[in-house]
Structure formats: structure tokens, C-alpha cells
Structure 1
Amino acid sequence: MSVTLLIEQLLNGVQLGTMLFLMASGLTLIFGVMGLINLAHGSFYMVGAYATAAVTASTGSFLIGLGAGIAAAALAGALVELIVIRRLYHRPHLDQVLATFALILIFSEGTRFIFGSSPLRLSPPSWLTGFVTLPGDTRYPIYRLVLIGVGIAISIGLYLLISRTRLGMRIRAGESDREMIGALGVNISKLYTLVFALGAGLAGLAGALVGALQSVQVGMGEPVLILAFVVIVIGGIGSIKGALFGALLVGIVDTLGRVYLPIFFRAFMPPSEATGVGAALAAMLIYILMAVILAFKPKGLFAAHD
């Protein structure tokens, strides 16, 4: 039983980590290329989930809804960059924080105005329901395994995009010396819009996929945004590899902590107290992990500009 529980929770941690990677990779790309602190990134996660839920309900096709969610988040990101973010690149970080926090409120209230305050339901397609049997007689949902596979595929695709394509070369150059690539004739404004839309689309994909596991509701992106910031700080700001390793580390540590810390404290505390203490420590565990890592690696595990 304990081995089965461990395998199941490890997979849950990897699944959480891959979804966090989709959020964190876009966030770290935007900060690495543009130097922008974007608190509104979680709003694109919410946009992707709502668009997917609405289109899936109207068409009956989860795949069409998923495509609509990604497109809606990417389009929202491009419009936000053109209308608001473009005016913030040379402003102090405090201005960026205030402006993007205002965007959170605008997206939240706009979503509530369009869809109402009640959560929307989004279910996985029928062909992704059910379970598979893993080693140790562990029955695990097919949909969660698909999420892990999608996260792995996206990480490989991002690696190839950044390392093997002309666009990736420009993104890497933009991280290192944006003035130089501008002098070489690269349209910096177009590049920034494209990167911002890419990051927003990845967040929208994460929201669309996770929306089928939980209710789709206003404000659903903010808790995930906090975890995504923890991920990029642990992994190293501006590093895609750091975002991947940081996301998996956070996902596994958070999941195992929430399951095993209450069990550990039950060995020498009453069950009710053990559950409370274990849950409280589990909630702090990833922040303790971040503090320990930063004590030894102040720029994160894979700093982009070491």
C-alpha cells in the first residue's frame, strides 16, 4: 500500500510540475527577454481555462476548446503587450508591478462580467477518462498521464525552438544584448510581442488542461502564479532548463509534503493535531526549499547569465 501511494503521489507531483513548467517557462521567457515583472501572467491561465470551457460546452469538442483556449490566451497576451506593456519596458519595476496588478483586476472583473461569478465545469473528453494499471498495481488516471506527456512534449519543443531555430536565436540574443540585435535590423517590438504572446499561450494551455481537473473560476490563476514565481527563482530567472527542473522539484516536494508530513506527525501526535501541523508545514515546504537553495545558489540552480 505504501509503495502504491508513493508511486501515485510521485506521478501527481510530476503532473503538477509539468503544468507549473508551462506557466513558469512563459514567465521566465518574458522576464529574461524583456526584463518585465508580469503579475498578470496568471490572468492568461484563467483566460485559457474559461475560453476552453466555453467553447467545449458550445461545440462538444474538447480539442476545439483547447485550441480556442490557447489562441484566446495568446491573443490576449499580444493585445496586452501592444496596448499596455509596451509602455512599461523602460519604466521602473515598481511601475511594472502596479500596472500588471491593475491588469489582474481588469481581467478578473471582465471575466466575472462576461461569465458570471459561478464556476464553469470542464471535463476531460470521454476518450481520456478511465485508469491505467502501473507497476505495483497502481491505478492512475489516463488524463493525468496525458498531462505529463503534454508537459514533456512542450519542454522538448521549447528546447528545440530556443536552441535550433532562427526565432530562438533572436530570443537568446534579446536576453543577452537587445540593443545589438536591434542594431542588426531585428524588429525588437515585433519580437517582444511574439515572445509575450508565446508566454501567454503557454499559460493558457496550462489553464485549459488543469481546468478539467478543478473548477474554472475567477482568480484561479493567482495561486498558480505564486508557485510559478517560486519555480523561476529556484531554477534561475531567464532559464528554460531552470524552469523545468524547478517546476518538477516544486511539484514533487509540494505533493509529497502534503501527503507524508501529516502521516509522519501521526507517529507521535494525536491524529487531529498531526493533520493540522502537517498541513501547515507542507504549505511552507516549498518556500523553505527556496530559501535553502538561494542560500547556496543566490541566482538559482541554472542562472541564465552566470
Structure 2
Amino acid sequence: MNELQASTEQHEPLASGLGCSETILPSLPNSDSTHAACEKKQRLFDEIDQLTTRLDKYLRAAEEQYFEMAPLEALLEGDEELDANRLREVRSEYNTLKLPHNSNKHHAWTLDTQITRREQLLNHKTLMAGYTESMANWKADEQELNEKRDSLSTRLEQIQQQAVEDLAKARQAETDAATAYAQSVAWGDTEGEKNANTDAQKAAKNLAAAIEHNRRQHLIINALEQELVIVDQHIAEAQKEHLALQRTALLLAEKVMEEQWNKIAHVLMDMGAKLWAAQRLLGGDQLSLRRLVLPKEGEGFDTWGSRELADRSYKFTVEDILSL
């Protein structure tokens, strides 16, 4: 209930702050677009005012009922033990209040949804511009993060490869020095033995330095891998936000197109009714249009069909039909 009240407080500034400068829906060809847009806006404003009045009524009723329910709810959920008769009495009184309370909350939720729909229709251009701009920003962030990820991945591969090569090179140098020393001893080459021993000591020092360097390289590798994890998290967040905004924008577009469909369907129904009237005046019977079913989009699950066409056809005179 509190969420609905907060939502109601947000409805009023949006509706009252809009003027007739923003077109609600694209007008059909050969129509007075400015006049039609202003009429559409005014109708939506009036509907919002009416719906808000009804919403406030339901919210007040639900609040009053909850005020009566709260002490009973505390008794039912509290630690105090109640005898069977008292417990039955409390439950009965609580349920008697809970049923209309839930009904009022449901009505309030339905009205709040209807108000939100009309506010979005009034302000759909501004809202859509904001959604598309935000989507573009998140897409740009994702692209920048992907470039950063590629750079990090390339650098990580280079360091990993360098670490393996440096250590392998140092170990091979120590192995070569040991082999040279052994060969000098085997062939009695005293000078070669001395040089090989010096090379072996040098290789051992280089290997120790290479092992220490390799340890530092692995620290860098671990840090880069962690940074890649963080970048991947940011990429996933950017994708999630972009998809969420895209869904919100699509829902708004759906509402606007539903209104556009209904508007065009009304024009189509009038044309069908005029055709129906012409055929009736000619003494014929309408066969094909009897199968017509046009769904009404948006709120409700209504359809327009042959009954509506027949009823509408009687509003057209011969003069109306002849003014092609």
C-alpha cells in the first residue's frame, strides 16, 4: 500500500508538467495534427485526474481497514495465548476486514497501472530519448571495456610467454655449462674445465635471478588475471543494464504502437461502416465484412467486429457516402 501511495505522489507532477508541445501519437494523413495531439493530451490529462481521484479513494479505504486490522494481526501473530472462542472471534473479524482490504489494494494497483500507462503516453518522446541515450552510453561503455579487455589479454599472454621463455633459457644455460664441464673433465681439458666451471657458476646465478624474476612475473600475471575478472564483471553489468533499458524502451514502444493501432483501427472501422452503409442502401447484403474481427490493443481484451460495423453504418448518410 505504501508503494502505491508513493507512486501516486509521483504521478501528479508528471501529468501537470506536460504541455501540448509534445505530440502524443503520429496523426493520420490529411488530419489536423496539432489539434488532434492537443485533444489527445487533454483527454489523457482528464483520465489521469479521474483515475487519481478513484485511486486515492481506494487507498484511503485500504488504509482505514488496515488500521483496524493491525491490532488483530498483532494478536494472531503475537505470543499471547488466546482461548479457542477468542481466537475464532479474532480470526473472523480479521478475515472480514482483510477481504475488502485486499480488494481495495487490487483496485488501487490496477488504477495505478492505468495512470502510469497514460503518463508514459503523454511523455513518451522524452522517455524514449532518455532510454536510447542511456542505451547508447552503456553500449559505448561495453565497447570501451572490451577494448581494455583485449589490451589486458594481449599483455597477459606476452608476460606469460616471456616468463616461460626466460626461465627455460636460464635452465638451458645451466645445463649447457654442466655439460661443457663434464666434457672437459672427460677429455682432460684443464683450461676448458676451468672455463666451464666459471660458466656453470654464472649460469647458476642467472637461474636464481630468473627464478626470482619468474616469481615476480607470476605476481603480475595473477594481478592481470584478477583485473580481467573485474573488467568482465563490468562488461556483464553494462550488458545487463543495456538489456534492461532495451526492455523498458520496448515496453514503452509497445504502448505507443497499441494506441496507434487503435487509432488506425477506428479509421478502418469507419471506412468499413461507410462501405456497409453503401451496400445496405443499394439493397445488397454485406458478406465479407461480416467476418471482420479487429483486436483492441492495450487495456482490456475487446475486439471490433461486424456488429460494430453494422451499428456504425447507420450514422452515415447518402451525402457522407458520396463525399469520397
Q: Considering the TM-score relative to the shorter chain, is it more than 0.5? A: no
Return the structure number with greater helix share.
2
Larger Rg: 2
Scaled to the shorter chain, the TM-score interval is under 0.3
